[in-house]
With several copies, the nearest count.
Chain A
Amino acid sequence: MKLVTAIIKPFKLDDVKDALKQIGIQGLTITEAQGFGRQGGHTEVYRGAEYSIDLVPKIRIELVVDDSTVDNVIETILNSAKTGKIGDGKIWSTPVDEMIRIRTSERGSDAL
């Protein structure tokens, strides 16, 4: 199994979620994140003082998938999250040793 992690633009979340649902993904976990990268941050001015915020808001999606589905999942995220502008984000996958559903203690693919 693999853990696919994707960093995307926040306003793309709905699209990505819908696209993943379409291909049968039943679960995922998201966290609010801040990204630093090529995409510039911005400036904020409070009472005349400038502050540089070089982190931009991102959504971090995590989902564990069967080896067989990984490519499809990545492809789907790629398509649905892309705007073509700098800052679209990254996807990476890492190996998973074990996956368990807490409710039932099912393991492996059954736990997805």
Chain B
Amino acid sequence: MLAVTYIPYPSWLVPGDNTWQLTAATLVGLMSLPGIAVLYAGLVQKKWVVNTMLMAFTGFSLVLLVWILWAFNMGFGTNPIGGGGGTGIMHFFRDMVSMPHPITGAAAEQQQTSSFSQTFVPFHFPTSTFAYFQVVFAAITPLLFLGSVIGRIKFKAWLIFVPLWCTFVYAIDAFLLWGGGYLASEGAVDYSGGYVIHLSAGVAGFVAAWVIGPRLAKDKAHAVPNNLPLVAIGAGILWLGWNGFNGGDPFYAGVDAAAAVLNTNLATAAALMTWLVIDMVGSKEKKPTFLGAINGMICGLVAITPSAGWVNGLGAILVGVIASTIVWFAWNYLPKIRPFSKVDDALGVVFTHGIAGLTGGLLVGILADPRMIEYGVKGKNYAGAKSSFVSGLLYGGGFHQLWEQFRAAVWVIVFTAVMTYIILKVVKFICRGLREPDEVLAIGDLAIHEEEAYPRETFAERISSVPTRQDDRV
């Protein structure tokens, strides 16, 4: 390799790492588009397919712009607004984010990435790579909680809600847990977003469903999905795309990335089979269902997210089994009690993302194996001092990590809930309401977009726009 005659890289760049990071980011992007867009499109009623897909595409686009124009630097900048000083509660409130500013300049795009948290591990790729990897995470989060509010949220309200939420909830949680903020510095960890993304999406979705109010009673009572193969397409892309989601989070194409990928798949397989088996022995019908299996799959993916590279293979399987079991019971029993019985979380995001993410986040405190090393590794280049690992209760870490995970969970739940509520009130004010009127809801896509998911050509007659040529052959 040394004989390579022309080296077009700056000295800090490693092409293998850059490739992995860009590939992983692309996989995560695919999880949103077309992944979540069609997974949700398949799950909603036929009359909501177009609306659901368009909210997914616009949500993704809006976060991209917001992120690059200001929010990336809020979460991953080098310059905490409070200056980075202070301790305890001061530290916490003074430094909830870094200074917002765009990364659209030539220098910003091309220089080696660094964030407030990267004091000891320099990443070997430019800011463009890092920001793009981070933005696909930021963008999938609103798409996840979209599942809670479909079937009644006003389209314009969505277009305003997403940028505000990304700025005032996501960027802050990202800074606190990943960007070097208080929670991170205290020791709470979140490998790839069990809290920042999934728990937060579950809570935001639940609160939003509550604030916006339920779907039409008729829609709720007839809420059959419209297309299961579409769900399969989305689900398959989610599963394999998650290799990038979790595999990309060491930010090195090293040993831990590989372990994270393997563990993600183990947890997911275990969770899918767990839900299936409980369905077969424990549900009223005692039948295996496809959508049940997919629910289980999602639980596994979500629950392993906070710990993917910090548990060993056995831990990963346990995470899958435990999370799937807990969410199965939550899914089947919680809707009967308050507040769940009062809130119409249409696709159940609070369960498959909220509770699964919470379960996974707490399990880090129990199952993390300190021999799983994120950066430093045994061997010739062993970097003991800079090694990054986590010890759970079962591996001699005591209750410390569990406590940190618990505190972080409380923060994410409370902060997300409160801020989501406030933001929605603001959006409601701006948009004069958060819901489409009932007569629009009764119709769905056709009323909002004048499009339907599966148009029937037989009954359509073109009336305007491009004139039909007179001389067309018939």
Direct chain A–B contact by Cβ atoms under 8 Å: yes
Query: Residues of A at under 8 Å CB distance from B?
Result: 10-11, 13-14, 32, 34, 42-55, 59
**Cβ-defined contact, A48 with B292, below 8 A:** yes
Name the B residues within 8 Å of A10 (CB-CB).
Answer: 458
Q: Scan B281-301; emit 1 where CB is below 8 A from any A CB, else 0.
A: 001110101011001000000
**Cβ-defined contact, B225 with A48, below 8 A:** no
Given the known interface contacts A51-B461, A53-B459, A55-B459, the answer about A46 and B285 at a Cβ–Cβ threshold of 8 Å is: no
**Cβ-defined contact, A47 with B450, below 8 A:** no
**Cβ-defined contact, B459 with A34, below 8 A:** yes
**Cβ-defined contact, B295 with A47, below 8 A:** yes
Complex-state Cα separation, A42 to B450, whole angstroms: 8
Q: Is residue B464 contacting chain A, with contact meaning CB distance below 8 A?
A: yes
Apart from A11-B218, A45-B451, A47-B43, what are 16 other A-B pairs with CB-CB below 8 Å?
A: A11-B442, A34-B459, A42-B450, A44-B452, A45-B285, A45-B287, A45-B289, A48-B332, A49-B464, A49-B465, A50-B285, A50-B462, A50-B465, A51-B222, A52-B462, A53-B461
- Of all chain A residues, which has the CB nearest B291? A47
Name the B residues within 8 Å of A46 (CB-CB).
Answer: 223-225, 289, 291, 451, 455
Q: Scan B440-453; emit 1 where CB is below 8 A from any A CB, else 0.
A: 00100010001110
User: B322 to chain A: closest CB distance in Å?
Assistant: 19
Name the A residues within 8 Å of B462 (CB-CB).
Answer: 49-52
Q: How many A-B pairs fall under 8 Å by CB?
A: 73
Complex-state Cα separation, A60 to B228, whole angstroms: 28
With beta carbons under 8 angstroms apart, the residue of A11, A13, A34, A43 that contacts B450 is A43
Q: Is residue B463 contacting chain A, with contact meaning CB distance below 8 A?
A: yes
Kindly state the interface size class of chain B when it binds its partner. 20 to 34
**Cβ-defined contact, B466 with A49, below 8 A:** yes
Name the A residues within 8 Å of B460 (CB-CB).
Answer: 44, 51-53
Q: Scan B247-286; emit 1 where CB is below 8 A from any A CB, else 0.
A: 0000000000000000000000000000000000001110
- Of all chain B residues, which has the CB nearest A10? B458
**Cβ-defined contact, A48 with B465, below 8 A:** yes
Name the B residues within 8 Å of A14 (CB-CB).
Answer: 461
User: B150 to chain A: closest CB distance in Å?
Assistant: 14
Q: Scan B144-171; emit 1 where CB is below 8 A from any A CB, else 0.
A: 0000000000000000000000000000
With beta carbons under 8 angstroms apart, the residue of B218, B222, B292, B463 that contacts A50 is B463
Name the B residues within 8 Å of A43 (CB-CB).
Answer: 285, 450, 463
User: A2 to chain B: closest CB distance in Å?
Assistant: 26
Q: Is residue B348 contacting chain A, with contact meaning CB distance below 8 A?
A: yes
User: B147 to chain A: closest CB distance in Å?
Assistant: 11
Complex-state Cα separation, A48 to B329, whole angstroms: 11
With beta carbons under 8 angstroms apart, the residue of A11, A49, A54, A59 that contacts B223 is A49
User: A21 to chain B: closest CB distance in Å?
Assistant: 13
Which A-B residue pairs are the 4 nearest by beta carbons? A51-B460, A49-B465, A50-B464, A45-B450
Q: Scan B402-429; emit 1 where CB is below 8 A from any A CB, else 0.
A: 0000000000000000000000000000
Q: Is residue B331 contacting chain A, with contact meaning CB distance below 8 A?
A: yes
Most buried by B among A42, A52, A53: A53
Given the known interface contacts A43-B285, A44-B452, A45-B287, the answer about A52 and B225 at a Cβ–Cβ threshold of 8 Å is: no
- Of all chain B residues, which has the CB nearest A30? B459
Name the A residues within 8 Å of B284 (CB-CB).
Answer: 50
Q: Scan B328-362; emit 1 where CB is below 8 A from any A CB, else 0.
A: 00011000000000000000100000000000000
**Cβ-defined contact, A51 with B224, below 8 A:** yes
**Cβ-defined contact, B463 with A52, below 8 A:** yes
User: B125 to chain A: closest CB distance in Å?
Assistant: 39
**Cβ-defined contact, A44 with B225, below 8 A:** no
**Cβ-defined contact, A42 with B446, below 8 A:** yes
